[in-house]
Amino acid sequence: MSKFVVFTDLDGTLLDHKSCSFRRALPALDVMVRRQIAVVPVSSKTAAEMRYWMKLLSLHGPFVSEDGGGIFIPEGYFPGSIPGAVKENSELRISLGAGIMEAREGLRKVSSEAGVAVTGFGDLKEDEVLELTGLKAAELEASMAREYDEPFLLVDNDSAALLFEVAQKNGFSVVRGDGIFHISRGCDKGRAVEILTELFRRLYPEAVTIGIGDCANDISLLHSVDHAYLVMRHDGTYDPEVSDESVKKVGGIGPHGWRMAMEEVFNVVGY
Ligand SMILES: [Mg+2]
């Protein structure tokens, strides 16, 4: 039987866009946890936020924070030594992204060079972040503990293409999530997925990889797996920027679509 590894986005994919509930995905997630199919969250969230969600989702394996900035692996999860990994408590960390200060400095430089006005989250007051993100006050500290990539808003979304171009020229990458942009250097979700896939193949040489997301910031993830799925956004549409034919569109929103995609995987492999 094939061994599957699922790389999944969280916000708007496994977690509902507004309520963050994963109730509708639970029937499929339960099957996967019981059958020890690895589910690896790959998110824009910080490591502190990811640890909270890993517990709620009953997941105990690796995860990826901040759009591929950091890979976190429980010690002893993979056999052998892991190049570039640094031990922190009972975890190994691989840092792919340059630090947050470099990302913030990059945002200032790119914004001024492109003549495009931006609002970086690092420059906002706490109440402004709460209002913009809909986070609760108790969630703020973990959400602001950013280490690799800086979320920001554009004053005029039509200027996105110009900003992307100038960022790229300066060696930074900018991705768009659901309404919020992120800037970083040296990392993307796809690179993190490729590194983890190599490591999973130490455990299961025949591992087949599945990727699932909802937005443009998942494109590199979806391009780095054997089978890619795109769920509908909260308004029932698909992100038009994810137009690749190799990415299969599932007919459900967020966690509901997630369940449908995973059930298709189960059917194909006869789980
Ligand atoms: Mg998402």
The per-residue pLDDT for 129 is 87
Q: In what order do the strands lie in the sheet with 118-120?
A: 118-120, 150-154, 181-184, 173-176
Residue 80 DSSP label: S
Domain 4-96+188-269 has CATH 3.40.50.1000: yes
Residue in 116, 108, 106, 83 with CA at minimum distance from that of residue 185: 106
The per-residue pLDDT for 166 is 96
CA distance to 54, 61, 99, 143, 168, per residue, from 150 (Å): 22, 25, 10, 11, 15
| Catalytic residue of the set 9, 11, 16, 239 | 9
CA distance 243 to 224: 15
How many angstroms separate the alpha carbon of residue 235 from the centre of ligand 1?
14
How many angstroms separate the alpha carbon of residue 105 from the centre of ligand 1?
25
Supply the pTM of this predicted model. Answer: 0.94
How many angstroms separate the alpha carbon of residue 178 from the centre of ligand 1?
6
CA distance 72 to 63: 5
The arrangement of secondary structure in 100-184, i.e. its CATH architecture, is 2-Layer Sandwich (3.30)
CA distance 105 to 161: 20
How many angstroms separate the alpha carbon of residue 199 from the centre of ligand 1?
24
- The reply to whether 9 belongs to the active site is yes
Residue 98 DSSP label: P
CA distance to 79, 153, 259, per residue, from 254 (Å): 34, 23, 9
The answer to whether 234 touches 18, Cβ cutoff 8 Å, is yes
Type of residue found at 83: P
Indicate the domain borders of the chain: 4-96+188-269, 100-184
Q: At 49, phi and psi to the nearest 5?
A: -70, -40
pLDDT (tens, 9 = 90+) of the chain, 271 residues, equals 568 999 999 999 999 998 999 999 999 999 888 888 999 999 999 999 999 999 999 999 999 999 999 999 999 999 999 999 999 999 999 999 999 999 999 999 999 999 999 999 888 898 888 888 888 888 888 988 999 999 999 988 888 999 999 999 999 999 988 778 999 999 999 999 999 999 999 999 999 999 999 999 999 999 999 999 999 999 999 999 999 999 999 999 999 999 999 999 888 655 5
Give yes or no on whether 4-96+188-269 and 100-184 have one common fold.
no
Q: At 27, phi and psi to the nearest 5?
A: -55, -40
The per-residue pLDDT for 6 is 97
